[in-house]
Amino acid sequence: NAGVTQTPKFQVLKTGQSMTLQCAQDMNHEYMSWYRQDPGMGLRLIHYSVGAGITDQGEVPNGYNVSRSTTEDFPLRLLSAAPSQTSVYFCASSYSFLGRTGESYEQYFGPGTRLTVT
């Protein structure tokens, strides 16, 4: 298994540009999510999906869109990039929603995408 893959690894955008961060997993996981990590603020949930066709907002959804047309893919779209969106973005997946699988729960993370908006 490749696990959770993300592309690109690095990206520089100008203010106002749009782009899509790709995320895919080959573990047949039901739950996928996007986080951003900023210094001193920990990881914050942007959007999540509990299954194909189902998405919902997390803690910091503004400026981002997601879709989940297949179980494997969960792309994150930046509609009009702003410097405040400079961050490291992580995609994660798990068998089920956080904790529902019980004590053996694990959430798998992708390697991250470092995005800079100038």
| 26 touching another protein, by CB under 8 A | no
| 107 touching another protein, by CB under 8 A | yes
Q: Which is nearer to another protein, 74 or 110 (CB)?
A: 110
Q: Which is nearer to another protein, 19 or 43 (CB)?
A: 43
Q: Where are the beta strands (DSSP E) in 1-118?
A: 4-7, 10-13, 19-25, 31-38, 42-51, 54-57, 64-66, 76-78, 87-94, 108-109, 113-117
One of 51, 58, 63, 75 touching another protein (CB under 8 A): 58
| 90 touching another protein, by CB under 8 A | yes
**8 burial type by CB count under 10 A (0-12 exposed, 13-18 middle, 19+ buried):** exposed
Closest listed residue to residue 77, CA positions, set 90, 88, 92, 66 = 66
| 27 touching another protein, by CB under 8 A | no
Residues forming contacts to another protein in the complex (CB under 8 A) are: 4, 33, 35, 40-45, 48, 50, 56-59, 90, 92, 97-99, 103, 105-112
